Amino acid sequence: MTVLPVINCLDFRSAKERLMLAEKFIKKDDWIHLDVADGAFTHHKSWRSPTELANLRVPYKVEVHLMVEHPERQIDAWIAAGADRLIVHAETLTQETARAITAKARRRNIPVMLSSSPLTSTAELWPLLKHFSHFQVLAVDPGPANQKFIPIVLKKIKFLRNFSPSAMIEVDGGVNVEVARTVKKAGANLITSSGFIWHSKNPKKAYRQLQKI
């Protein structure tokens, strides 16, 4: 199981501290997951500065989760800041913006995942699936970290795995060891983790536990 520690912070100082702490247990070129919440698509705002990220020059691969309205207006800045993969939400896209985002990312060799909130149905996703090769299943409401996993998303994971047997399918939100086992069985092969890692007495041990699933 590929595990991505989540950076979901209110300010640059807190984000920088977690990014530096991650050096103790993830290797160069491993992945981290950066939550970008704009306070419009979400109920809260997170730290979300591409310029500050670029200045940090982190040694990890960075996946940027754009929980924002109009992601097509922001992808250039995040790619320039060093994003290695982008995640955009079905709820914020039209057919036109989905085509534009994936075409631009393809030209720059940046993979893009399609995400959806827990209550977004597979029927609502269906028209957009053709534009994407990889998918994220958000298992909590968009926004703050440390929410509880919503089991209804298991059906969506299974649907996406049947739709695309070779896709990367990531589950984001409320992941602990038990949840990791459950979503892996449903078809996921990537997970993110915030509270289980960062609130542990030993973040390195927690990270390794998830990797062994």
pLDDT over 80 (residue 171): yes
Average pLDDT over residues 165-194: 97
Domain coverage including residue 68: 2-211
DSSP 161-190: HHH-TTS-EEEESS--HHHHHHHHHHT--E
% pLDDT > 70, the chain: 100
Average pLDDT over residues 75-90: 97
- pLDDT confidence of 143, banded at 50, 70, 90? confident
**114-136 burial code (b ≥16 CB/10 A, e <16):** bbbbbebeeeebeebbebbebbb
pLDDT at residue 170, as a whole number:
98
27-46 pLDDT, tens digit each: 988 999 999 999 999 988 99
Average model confidence (pLDDT) across the chain:
95
Q: Which has the closest alpha carbon to 98: 76, 77, 116, 71?
A: 71
Q: CA 29 to CA 71: how far, in whole Å?
A: 25
Q: Which has the closest alpha carbon to 31: 114, 100, 87, 105?
A: 87
pLDDT at residue 28, as a whole number:
86
Domain count, the chain: 1
- From the DSSP assignment, how many helices (H) and strands (E) are in the chain? 9, 8
7-30 pLDDT, tens digit each: 999 999 999 999 989 999 999 889
Average pLDDT over residues 99-118: 96
Bridge partners, 7 (sequence order): 34
Token representation of residue 72: 């097509």
> pTM of this prediction?
0.96
pLDDT over 90 (residue 159): yes
Q: Provide the CATH number for the domain around residue 9.
A: 3.20.20.70
Average pLDDT over residues 173-194: 97
pLDDT over 90 (residue 146): no
Token representation of residue 43: 């109920």
